[in-house]
Amino acid sequence: MSVAVSNRFQGGKAFGLLKAQQERRLEEINREFLCDQKYSDEENLPEKLAAFKEKYMEFDLNNEGEIDLMSLKRMMEKLGVPKTHLEMKKMISEVTGGVSDTISYRDFVNMMLGKRSAVLKLVMMFEGKANESSPKPAGPPPERDIASLP
């Protein structure tokens, strides 16, 4: 699913237009989930969908609306849990049901809202909880002397 952008724009302007198009597509999909009776009992669904959209857009490197193997590899490395190609292929297969080599936004949201505990879902949830629980200290590290070292 390639997205065409007018040849009038280059560089940052073209990238901004691609991101805006992608955001509109993902927002349409979010509206479908909001209208779906299957998810009507889900707590804070609009907030969850907004967070999923933001996270998905961050890792959709080619702006085609799909997370491929290399995008997933980057995601796992950024989350601090690098995986082998075989593990990542298994994760993609688990999320898509073995139908595709890429993770679409619908598959991603279904996984995150679903009851099954996919490995990718666990990693994404762990990353969110880790960011909430321990804020990173600001400023330079405290001075230490030789006696305080382990």
Supply the pTM of this predicted model: 0.64
Question: How many other CB atoms sit within 10 Å of the CB of residue 7?
Answer: 7
Residues 6+ apart with CB under 8 A from 113: 33, 39, 42, 48
Spans of the chain below 50 pLDDT = 1-3, 5-6, 130
Phi, psi at residue 126, to the nearest 5°? -60, -45
What does the pLDDT read at residue 125?
A: 62
C-beta separation of 69 from 54 below 8 A = no
What does the pLDDT read at residue 105?
A: 87
> Strand 103-104 vs strand 66-67: parallel, antiparallel, or unpaired?
antiparallel
